[in-house]
Amino acid sequence: MGTGRRRSQLAAIALCVAAGLLAGGVAGCGSSGGGSGEGSGKGASSASRTGSASLPAPLRKLTKATLILDFTPNAVHAGIYRALAEGLYKRENIALEPVSPSETQDTLSLIEAGKADFGLADGSDLETLIAKGGDAKAVLAIAQRPLGGLIARASEHLSSPAQLQGKAVGVTGVPSDTAVLDTEVSAAGGDPSRVHIVTVGFNGAQALRSGRIAAFTGFWPADGVQLQVSGEPVTSFKLDRWGGPPYPGLVAFTTKRLIATKPALVRDFVAATVAGYELTMKQPQRSLHDLLAANPEIEPKVAAASLSAYLPLFDEGGRVPFGTLQSAHLEALSTWMTGHELISSPVSPARYGTTRFLPASGAGG
């Protein structure tokens, strides 16, 4: 459900007025010096008001670092923009520059090539990269559950993915879309071969609106919310609730190389990011304000509705500390991807990610 759907969203946003997730460009990374995305002027005094005294000791000198987002800035990134506005990265002597990829694959390739320090990616995309021999390694989970699933028109009156038998369902054409469709329909007791698959490329939302398809594979907190806000009621069937693994839908990652050579940078990046999302869970409206202030192109109504959908995913509704990489969920992801031949061999949780940089309360899993 990763790269192909993210690329679908990139194209769809270029075409849709209802888009609420918007843009950026690439900056330098990995060298000491000035420059930062933290330009709010709140600085350390504001950070101290929000409990940043619990952050680790800052780096010895100001260090530039680049964070390649998984997509254009949107509600799922609210914690990062809150941390920037509060000066939490600056408190750690990190001049963090978040930038948008031109395509989702750019995030993976730029980090892998050492041209950026940190990245965000769908958990399944990171699994694929590692399975292919990449050097990447997750350092925290942003969303604890998959963001993908089947999104159907509410007017179809569906209560189960099995009811898509005999109906047209749009996919982008990437193998993970078919895996999502097959998993959900089978789990609901249906026969996936009886679903009429239509390759709609990047135009799932448009095809749904036009009536060409009854449903499509997409990201329910983004595509689904965007359709709902724009006046197209939908029913979302979430992957982890219909037979799929409860894997982290979004992770922050770097490389084993950076972990080995600059562990303090990784530690302080993780600490500031965790603090930003913890503040977001406590004060979502303030984080939404910071996100919109830094990215005025974002449609506020879409961002607000989307953030409401994301909030329970950050810590599973309070069941796990933010950032936790849960071993059982990573094992389930690997089993599912291997079973659907999305990867050739399993990836162990220890190879997938590390919890060593998380605060003690979030290091379980």
Tens digit of pLDDT at every position of the chain (365 positions): 664 444 444 333 333 323 333 333 323 333 333 333 444 333 333 333 344 447 888 899 999 999 999 999 999 999 999 999 999 999 999 999 999 988 656 788 888 888 899 999 999 999 999 999 999 999 999 999 999 999 999 999 999 999 999 999 999 988 999 999 999 999 999 999 999 999 998 799 999 999 999 999 999 999 999 999 999 999 999 999 999 999 999 999 999 999 999 999 999 999 999 999 999 999 999 999 999 999 999 999 999 999 999 999 999 999 999 999 999 999 999 999 999 999 999 999 999 999 999 987 554 44
CA distance 210 to 204: 10
Name the CATH topology of 3-146+247-362: D-Maltodextrin-Binding Protein; domain 2 (3.40.190)
Tokens 């993976």 map to which residue? 108
**Secondary structure of residue 337 in the 3-state scheme:** helix
The 3 state secondary structure assigned to 65-105 is EEEECCCCCCHHHHHHHHHHHHCHHHHCCEEEEEECCCCHH
Range(s) for CATH 3.40.190.10 in the chain?
3-146+247-362, 148-241
Residues 6+ apart with CB under 8 A from 193: none
Contact (CB, 8 A) for 330 and 158: no
Contact (CB, 8 A) for 315 and 284: no
Contact (CB, 8 A) for 273 and 80: yes
Q: Which CATH architecture does the domain made up of 148-241 adopt?
A: 3-Layer(aba) Sandwich (3.40)
CA distance 238 to 309: 12
